[in-house]
Structure formats: C-alpha cells, structure tokens
C-alpha cells in the first residue's frame, strides 16, 4: 500500500516537473537565413509519412504521448490533416505528429537546429521525450537549437503537438461574435482554415561561429549599383569578406565584426538591374574567417532594383510599371494548404501565360520557394502578413494579443523574406477594420476610432522601421475606414461593386468604382490599385446575356473594371480576385464550400475570363 502511494506521489512529481518544464519560445532571429547545404552547413529534410494521432480532449501531454505514439494513423508531412482525413475535415483541436531519424555523425561538433516551416497554428516540440520549444502563429517558420537533445549513433524521436483553434485573440481571427463571416468552421475570413504541418520540417547543422543573418539593402546612384550588406554573426569579434559575383563582376570586400555585426558597402559599376525583362541576380557570398580557416559561409542570390512612387504610379528602377495579376491562395485538392513545388511552378507558369506580372500573397506569407522562383523569373510580389480579419476595438485583452501576434508576424516575415527583389511592397493587413462587424463602424465613438487608428499605425511604423527599401500598404475593405490610407504609399482597395453590392448590374458597378477611385485619388494624391475585384463563376455555366455565376458575367465584370482602370492615369495596378477557385468554410454564399472567383478552376483549368485576360494582358505587354 505504502509502496503504491509512494509510486503515485513520485509519478505525480515527475509529471508536474514535465508540465512545468520550460518550453523555449522560438526566437525569430533563428529563421533569418534559410537552411542551405554547403561545406559548412547541412540539411536533412524530414518530409515523408509520419505517425499521427488526434487528441480531442488534450490528454496527450499528461499521458506522455511525447514519448511515442500508440494507436496512431499515418499522415503525410507536409500536408493539411483536414484534406487527408475525411473524418477530420472540420477538426481544429490538438493532434500529435511523430517521426524518427538518425542525425549524421559528420554533424557532430556543430549546432543542430530543427526548423518547422509552418505549423498552423500553435506547436510544441519534444525531442527524445524532452520538451524543446513552443511557437504560436501560422505560415511562417520557427527554429530551435536542439544540439543538446540529440542521441548520436541512434535514432531520435521527434514529436510535435499542433492545434488550430479559431479564436478572436489569434491572427487570423476566428469565432468572433458578430464577425463578418457566418461560417463553419467559424473562421473570420472565407478561405478554409487548413491545419497542421503544412510545410516541410528540416533538421540542419551550422558551425558554432556562424553567420546568423545577412541583409542586402540595394540602391542606385547614376549607373552605380549599391549594396549595403549587413552581416550578423554569433562570433563577436570575427573577420570575413563579402564577394559579389555575376555579370563578369567579382567584387571582394573584407569586413570586421564588432558586437556581432558588420556593414559592408559595395559599389557595382555599370550595374545590371533586376527588372521584369531581365531579372538578373547577383550572387552575394559571405565568408566568415579567412581563406586558411573558413568558419562559415553563406551564399544568396539577390538583385539590385529600386521601387518608389510618385502621385500616380509605382516606379520600378525609376520607370512606371503597371501591376497586373491576382490575389491567390495556397490551395489545391488533396494538398489543402500544404506546399508543393509542382504547384508553385505551375501557378507561376499560368500567371505568365495570361500575361500577369504580379501577385499578392493573400492572405499570409507563402512557402519560400514562391519568392525564389519569382526572383528568378522576373515576377513582382506584394508580400502580405497573416493579418486578415483584424479589428482594433472591443475586448482589450484580445486586442493586445492580436497586436502581439502581428508584431511577431511582421518581424518573422521581414526577417525571412527581406532579400527578395521580387517583393516590391509589404501589405500590412487585408481588410482591417475598426470593428468586427463590417459596415457597422458608425456605432463606435470618435475616441474609439482614433484609438483604432493609433493601434493600426503601430504596425506600419514597425514595418517601415524594419525595411526602408519597399513600399508599404494595406488593403482596404468596402465601407472600411478610408482615413487609414494616410499611412500608405499606395491606396489599395478591394471592391465588389457589381457583385455583393448592386449585384447583377455590371454597368452600375463600374460607375461606382470609377467615382470612388476618383474621390480617393483626389483626397490622398497617391496611386491607386484595385487589389481585389471579381465575380464567382461556376465553370461550365453559361448564359447569352451575362448573368451572375456564369463565366460570361465574370469575364464582363473583369473587363468593365479593367476599362475603368485604363481610363485613369493614377491607377497603378489591377489584381483580379482570384487566380483559382479555392476551398472555404461552409457558408451560405459559398456554393459547395468553394469561392468560385478563380479565373482558373481549383485544378487549374482556364475559365473564359482567363482566356480574356490572356488576350488583353499579352497584347498590352510593353
Ligand atoms: C474579400 C476578401 C477575400 C474574399 C473575397 C470574396 O479579402 O478574402 O475571398 O472578399 O468575398 O473581401 O470573394
């Protein structure tokens, strides 16, 4: 009896110790450099089929599931669990993933990290039964140094717990009372809240004295290209050099690290600019140490280009550029929101096929491969945070949590994506509003409106402090506050006149958008972009006269908006909503659980509108 109670007490204590043990919070700085393979650095991609178990009562931690799953099923990583298991389509609570791997013995002596490229929404990691770290937030990577957790010469168990509870204190928001989208699952946005390890999980090794971050700040003086290269290292007082290679150039500049940082300014005579017709990339190689003793090295490719605005246009390398393209989603049958290089390539090929030159990463940062491809292929990207369904009034505690999430997202996104020439503008948020209920802002007091503006302004300030080389905007919703455009470089609006408002009447819709953008331009004297416009079209559905939900109506509405844009010299871009049909939560206005505003179907077949855009945009190509 005594023995039994001592045993119970002991296991309780061990248990308490386990629960109380600290999960480190991920440090955004650890994701700044994408893992690469070279002679100092290694990668092991853990993509494959993992063990998986649902934990609807959140009992797993108490039952030590981190020591190994029993009664599990198999799941593909990367992948969204909602697509792989029909019985878990709408499930958003806790699940557990497990895999095992050896770590190559050649990595001994280095620092070993785990990098999860996306766990939507919150994740905890255990290695070999020991708690490692915690991260909250979707669509962006996080990493932990796991060197001290590794078992050498034997298999290592990696367990990750993930949950995707939809909540008003998270971003994107969910379960918002009075929110705009009455849907199931109750996300406060229409794309399906796909959950899980949607992108790859990697192990990688780096030297102890290493490069932690490289920021390349491009500029131009006459024909002289400028690159300010900021190198951050773990080694407080090291030396090294930067080599710029490309276009018959081989420019070397030494540096000395002070307090973990060095700034190298490089001039490139007769620079070859990164442009849409010639997306030339220089190779920037940073070497830490000297030729006899290279401690670490990292090579990235980036371009020299400038982005600016005047009162009417966006200028790329000083020349006006019209942004034509789409908002899209990471979305495909079976894959859900998980990454696939085939899809990344296919989508860019189709966008080029219709003559587009730009897309916005609606409504979250995409898998990194998208940006590398756009750099190489000469395509423009507006990089968006996961800030969708944001509002800035109501419960203060929830607002503070959302603001903290946004702050982290902005930091993670810019750290990860800052060196891509393809990204010309950051989009701080999609359709933020003063209040959760669309169009109800009149019910809040003037002070509350001012307070909401100040909160939103904080996000802009953060972006501008972190990156002074790109344009910054947000995308405004119909009936949302327009005074917030004071913060932006470009006025970006999503408009559905002729669809949600004045439905069926394209002519009226075109008149309204025309008047509205005239008014906005007069008020702010900034270039205007319509970042969303479009209509649902059920592929194969036709009518002689354009009628809602037919391919004809979609095409005619897109045409009418593009005609309006062509008639105004201050419209600097038009992005059709959407590139392809995509899965949504179930909702009265989402037939079959799909948003059908794609000009391609979900499996990437062109509707009439795609053919129309191809005619119009390839002809208009300069
Ligand atoms: C816009 C949202 C977008 C939706 C779109 C629509 O930004 O995410 O999918 O409406 O209703 O307001 O199709």
7 band by pLDDT with thresholds 50, 70 and 90? very low
Of 494, 500, 536, the one to substitute when testing ligand 1's pocket (max ligand atoms within 8 A of C-beta) is: 494
Choosing from 181, 182, 532 the residue with most ligand 1 atoms within 8 A of its CB, the one to mutate for a pocket test is 532
Q: How far is ligand 1, taken at its centre, from the CA of residue 499, in Å?
A: 11
Determine how many CB atoms are found less than 10 A away from the CB of residue 108.
Answer: 13
Mean pLDDT of 579-597: 96
* pLDDT score, position 21: 58
Q: In this model, does residue 1 exceed pLDDT 60?
A: no
Q: pLDDT grade, residue 411 (50/70/90)?
A: very high
Q: How far is CA 407 from CA 121, 319, 455, 564, in A?
A: 16, 33, 11, 37
State yes or no: pLDDT of 356 exceeds 50: yes
Reply yes or no on whether the pLDDT at 14 is more than 50.
no
CB 384 within 8 A of CB 363: yes
Catalytic residue among 98, 232, 368, 431: 431
| pLDDT over 90 percentage in the chain | 91
pLDDT at residue 232 tops 80: yes
**How far is the centre of ligand 1, averaged over its atoms, from the C-alpha of 527 (Å)?**
22
Q: Would you say residue 288 has pLDDT above 60? A: yes
**Per-residue pLDDT reduced to its tens digit, 436-464:** 877 666 678 999 999 999 999 999 999 99
Give the Å distance between the CA of 178 and the centre of ligand 1.
17
Which fold does the domain 307-619 belong to in CATH? TIM Barrel (3.20.20)
Q: Quick: pLDDT tens for 462-481.
A: 999 999 999 999 999 998 99
pTM: 0.95
549-578 mean pLDDT:
98
CATH superfamily of 20-206: Galactose-binding domain-like (2.60.120.260)
* Confidence category of residue 179, pLDDT binned at 50, 70, 90: low
Mention every residue, 6+ apart, whose C-beta is less than 8 A from residue 360.
325, 326, 327, 328, 381, 382, 384, 427, 475, 531, 575
H or E element at residue 428: strand 423-430
Domain range list for the chain: 20-206, 211-302, 307-619
- Cβ burial, residue 311 (10 Å; 0-12/13-18/19+): exposed
Distance 389 CA to ligand 1 centre (A): 10
Question: Where does 386-479 have alpha helices with state H?
Answer: 396-417, 446-466
Structure tokens at 455: 């909160």
User: Per-residue DSSP letters for 41-64?
Assistant: -EEEE--EEEEEEE-TTS-TTTTT
Average pLDDT over residues 94-123: 98
Pairing type for strands 239-246 and 249-256 reads: antiparallel
Give the pLDDT score at 188: 92
Query: If we measure between CA atoms, which residue out of 610, 609, 584, 608 comes closest to residue 595?
Result: 584
Measured CA to CA in angstroms, residue 236 lies from 144, 212, 262, 346 at distances of: 21, 11, 10, 44
CB 551 within 8 A of CB 608: yes
Asked if pLDDT for residue 2 goes beyond 50, the answer is: no
Give the per-residue pLDDT at 590: 94
CATH topology for 211-302 is Immunoglobulin-like (2.60.40)
Ligand 1 pocket test target in 364, 595, 598 with most atoms within 8 Å of CB? 595
Active site residue 547: no
- Closest C-alpha residue for ligand 1 atom 3: 190
Cβ atoms within 10 Å of 505's Cβ, excluding its own:
15
Average pLDDT, stretch 217-237? 93
With tokens 């389509």, the residue in question is 89
Which is the catalytic residue, given 163, 455, 532, 556? 532
Ligand 1, residue 595: give the atom nearest the CA.
Answer: 13
Pseudo-torsion of CA 152, 50, 580, 348, nearest 10°?
Answer: 30
Q: Which atom of ligand 1 is nearest to the CA of 475?
A: 7
Query: Is 411 one of the catalytic residues?
Result: no
Residue 477 CA, closest ligand 1 atom number? 12
Q: What is the mean pLDDT of the chain?
A: 94
- The answer on pLDDT for 4 being more than 60 is no
Residue 439 pLDDT: 66
- For residues 118 and 140, the answer to whether their CB atoms sit within 8 Å is yes
Cis peptide bond upstream of 16, omega within 30: no
DSSP letters, 175-224, are S-TT-S---BS-BSSSB----EE-S-EEEEEE-SS-EEEEEEEEEEETTE
- Cα(190) to centroid(ligand 1), Å: 7
Q: What is the pLDDT of residue 223?
A: 85
**Closest protein CA for atom 4 of ligand 1:** 190
pLDDT band, very low/low/confident/very high, at 214 (cuts 50, 70, 90): very high
Q: Checking DSSP bridges between strand 571-577 and strand 249-256, what pairing results, if any?
A: unpaired
Residue corresponding to tokens 């140094």: 145
**pLDDT for res 422:** 98
Using the CB atoms, write b or e for 528-565: b if 16+ within 10 Å.
bbbbbbbbbbbbebeeeebebebbbbbbbbbbbbbebb
- Separation of alpha carbons 528 and 491, rounded Å: 5
Of 37-41, 403-407, 434-438, 539-543, give the lowest mean pLDDT range.
434-438
Ligand 1 environment, Cβ below 6 A: 189-190, 363, 430-431, 477, 494, 532, 577, 595, 597
* Predicted confidence (pLDDT) per residue in 495-545, tens digit: 999 999 999 999 999 999 999 999 999 999 999 999 999 999 999 999 999
- Nearest ligand 1 atom to the CA of 589 is 11
Of ligand 1's atoms, which has the minimum distance to the CA of residue 597? 13
| 429-460 exposure pattern, b = at least 16 Cβ within 10 A, e = fewer | bbbbbbbbbbeebeebeeebbebbbebbeebb
Q: With 50 as the cut, is the pLDDT of residue 560 above it?
A: yes
pLDDT of residue 358: 98
Q: Is the peptide bond before 286 cis (omega within 30 degrees of 0)?
A: no
pLDDT for residue 441: 67
DSSP tag of 26: P
Ligand 1 center–CA 163 separation, angstroms: 25
C-alpha angle with apex 206: 204 to 207, nearest 5 degrees? 160
End-to-end alpha-carbon separation of the chain, Å? 87
């Amino acid at each position: 009896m005594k023995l039994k109670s001592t045993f119970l007490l002991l296991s309780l204590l061990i248990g308490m110790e386990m629960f109380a043990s600290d999960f480190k919070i991920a440090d955004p700085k650890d994701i700044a450099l994408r893992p690469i393979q070279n002679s100092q650095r290694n990668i092991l991609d853990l993509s494959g089929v993992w063990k998986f178990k649902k934990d609807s009562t959140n009992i797993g931690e108490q039952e030590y599931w981190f020591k190994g799953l029993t009664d599990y099923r198999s799941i593909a990583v990367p992948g969204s669990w909602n697509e792989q298991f029909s019985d878990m389509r709408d499930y958003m609570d806790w699940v557990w993933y497990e895999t095992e791997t050896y770590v190559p013995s050649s990595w001994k002596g280095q620092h070993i990290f785990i990098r999860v490229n996306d766990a939507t929404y919150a994740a905890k990691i255990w290695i070999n039964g020991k708690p490692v770290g915690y991260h909250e937030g979707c669509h962006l990577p996080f990493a932990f140094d796991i060197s001290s957790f590794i078992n050498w010469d034997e298999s290592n168990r990696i367990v990750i717990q993930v949950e995707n509870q939809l909540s008003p204190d998270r971003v994107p928001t969910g379960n918002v009372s009075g929110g705009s989208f009455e849907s199931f699952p109750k996300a406060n946005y229409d794309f399906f809240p796909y959950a899980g390890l949607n992108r790859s999980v990697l192990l990688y090794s780096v030297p102890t004295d290493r490069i932690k971050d490289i920021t390349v700040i491009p500029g131009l003086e006459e024909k002289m290209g400028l690159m300010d290269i900021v190198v951050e290292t773990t080694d407080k007082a090291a030396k090294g050099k930067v080599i710029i290679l490309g276009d018959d150039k081989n420019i070397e500049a030494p540096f000395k690290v002070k307090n973990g940082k060095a700034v190298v300014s490089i001039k490139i005579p007769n620079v070859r600019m990164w442009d849409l017709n010639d997306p030339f990339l220089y190779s920037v190689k940073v070497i830490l140490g000297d030729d006899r003793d290279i401690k670490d090295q990292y090579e990235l490719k980036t371009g020299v280009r400038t982005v600016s605005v005047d009162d009417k246009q966006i200028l790329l390398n000083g020349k006006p550029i019209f942004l034509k393209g789409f908002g899209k989603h990471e979305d495909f049958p079976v894959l859900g929101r998980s990454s696939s290089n085939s899809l990344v390539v296919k989508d860019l090929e189709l966008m080029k096929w219709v003559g587009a030159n730009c897309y916005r990463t609606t409504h979250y940062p995409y898998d990194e491969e998208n940006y590398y491809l756009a750099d190489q292929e000469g395509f423009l990207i507006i990089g968006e945070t996961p800030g969708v369904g944001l509002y800035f009034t109501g419960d203060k505690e929830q607002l503070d949590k959302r603001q903290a999430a946004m702050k982290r997202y902005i930091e993670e996104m810019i750290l990860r994506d800052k060196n891509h020439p393809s990204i010309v503008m950051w989009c701080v948020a999609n359709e933020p509003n003063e209040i959760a209920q669309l169009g109800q802002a009149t019910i809040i007091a003037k002070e509350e409106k001012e307070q909401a503006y100040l909160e939103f302004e904080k996000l802009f300030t953060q972006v501008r402090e972190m990156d002074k080389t790109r344009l910054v905007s947000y995308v405004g919703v119909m009936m949302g506050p327009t005074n917030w455009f004071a913060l932006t470089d470009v006025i970006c609006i999503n408009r559905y006149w002729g669809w949600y408002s004045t439905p069926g009447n394209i002519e009226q819709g075109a008149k309204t958008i025309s008047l509205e953008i005239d008014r906005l331009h007069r008020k702010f004297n900034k270039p205007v972009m319509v970042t969303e416009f479009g209509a649902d079209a059920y592929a194969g559905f036709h009518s002689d006269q354009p009628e809602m939900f037919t391919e004809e109506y979609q095409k005619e509405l897109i045409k009418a908006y593009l005609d309006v844009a062509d008639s105004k010299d201050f419209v600097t871009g038009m992005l059709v909503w959407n590139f392809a049909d995509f899965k949504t939560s179930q909702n009265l206005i989402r037939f079959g659980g799909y948003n059908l505003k794609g000009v391609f179907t979900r499996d990437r077949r062109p509707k009439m509108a795609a053919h129309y855009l191809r005619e119009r945009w390839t002809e208009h190509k300069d």
